[in-house]
Amino acid sequence: MPIDYDDMMQSGATGLRSRYDEKDVMLYALGVGFMRDPLDENELPFVYEQNLKVEPTFASALPRGAAPIENQRNATKSSINLMLVVDGERHITFHKPLPVAADLIADERTIGVYDKGRDHGAVVVSERQVRDFATNEKLFTITSSLFARGDGGFGGPSHGGPEPHPIPDRAPDLIRECDTRPDQAFLYALSGDRNPLHRDPAFAKMVGFPRPILHGLCSFGTACRAILSTIGKYQPERIKEFAVRFSKPVFPGETIVTHIWADGGTISFRAFVKEREGVMVLNKGLCVLGD
């Protein structure tokens, strides 16, 4: 059935269980482009078990588990065309630095469903709170919006949701280029997102793309790497929030060029692709740095 607003707003789950270890941490870092230079001593701690560091946007790949059936709160009867779903926005708030390994438990709920019109799709906003299972301490909270391109026109509210972060009206304070590999999506998929849109040429063409696109969350992690490697001084524990709006897809092999503005601990950013002049792929980016 198409989206039922009341049904979707009541959907959610509690007790999502999963775990990760240092191998998952290192694989994710490789998936977002760390260690292009195998002699880079600044990036080595993100991919090597000696004094391992966790790239903060690894949180976006967690948890990958499922809740027991009895903990699924009003599992939705609405059906979204998953073939036409792409990432809209992501906002992560970190309550503690991510450990190098953890058992996790999470609760999630739908917090908004917005109808942009029959020809423009729908936006579904959800919140996931993730805790350390052993201590019950909150680790991070993720607010996500998905753009369901084929599901508009269901009659729900057309406006709402959090306001995006404004970008300063001045030239960027610095610019950081990060290349992606032609096979980047295959590597990133091993961190949990096996959507064929990112690997299968026939599937990509079927849903309207000329070829497979890079995962939006891989571009998200690449932008975080750009900030970590500059203003962040490779100190992931300083990142308290990280958020972005996804604008256009990146094709594997393109270069992500991140424009960065620093205003104290508030870092604003947006990103373009070098190979297609003027094409913005990330916008309204926010990184909050602590001491």
Same domain, 209 and 88: no
**214 near 180, Cβ under 8 Å?**
yes
- Match 């696109």 to its residue by tokens: 213
Which of 3, 92, 213, 239 is the catalytic position? 213
CA distance 58 to 26: 10
**Domain endpoint, select from 102, 132, 148:** 148
**Mean pLDDT in residue range 161-188:** 94
Whether 36 maps to a domain, the answer reads: yes
Grouping H, G, I as helix, E, B as strand and the rest as coil, residue 174 is strand
Q: What's the average model confidence in pLDDT over 16-23?
A: 94
Same-domain status, 13 and 52: yes
The mean predicted confidence, pLDDT, of the chain is: 90
- Both 87 and 219 in a single domain? no
To the query of whether residue 216 is one of the catalytic residues in this protein, the response is: yes
Overall average pLDDT of the 43-69 stretch: 86
> Is the pLDDT reported for residue 120 higher than 80?
no
Residue 167 lies in a domain: no
Establish whether 88 is a catalytic residue.
no
What's residue 253's pLDDT?
97
53 and 110 fall within a common domain = yes
Asked if the model's pLDDT at residue 48 lies above 90, the reply is: yes
Q: Residue 69: what pLDDT? A: 45
Identify whether 159 is part of a domain.
no
274, 177 contact by CB (below 8 A): yes
Whole-angstrom Cα distance, residue 17 to residue 227? Answer: 31
Active site residue 198: yes
Q: Tell me the mean pLDDT in the region 129-144.
A: 96
| Residue 129 included in any domain | yes
> Annotated catalytic residue: which of 216, 221, 232, 285?
216
Q: Say whether both 180 and 115 belong to one domain.
A: no
Same domain as 53, residue 137:
yes
The two three-digit tokens of residue 20, written as one number: 């990760």
As for how many domains the chain has, the answer is: 2
Q: Which among 113, 89, 103 is positioned nearest to 133, based on CA atoms?
A: 103
The pLDDT score that the predictor gives to residue 21 is 97
**Residue 53 falls within a domain, yes or no?**
yes
* Confidence at 224, pLDDT banded by 50, 70, 90: very high
- Find the radius of gyration of the CA atoms of the chain: 19
pLDDT of residue 118: 77
Give the global pTM: 0.90
Residue 168 included in any domain:
no
Residue 6 is a catalytic residue: no
The residue annotated as part of the active site, out of 115, 193, 267, 285, is 193
Task: Verify that 51 and 122 share a domain, yes or no.
Answer: yes
| Nearest-angstrom CA–CA distance, 175 and 177 | 7
Residue 178 shares a structural domain with residue 64: no
Q: Within a domain: residue 70?
A: yes
- For the domain that residue 110 is a member of, what is the CATH number? 3.10.129.10
- Give the helix ranges, DSSP H, for 15-136: 22-31
Residues 134 and 180 grouped into a single domain: no
Q: What's the average model confidence in pLDDT over 118-143?
A: 91
Q: Which residues pair with 126 in a beta bridge?
A: 110, 144
Q: Do the Cβ atoms of 145 and 123 come closer than 8 Å?
A: yes
Per-residue pLDDT, averaged over 202-228, amounts to: 96
Q: What residues make up the domain containing 63?
A: 5-148
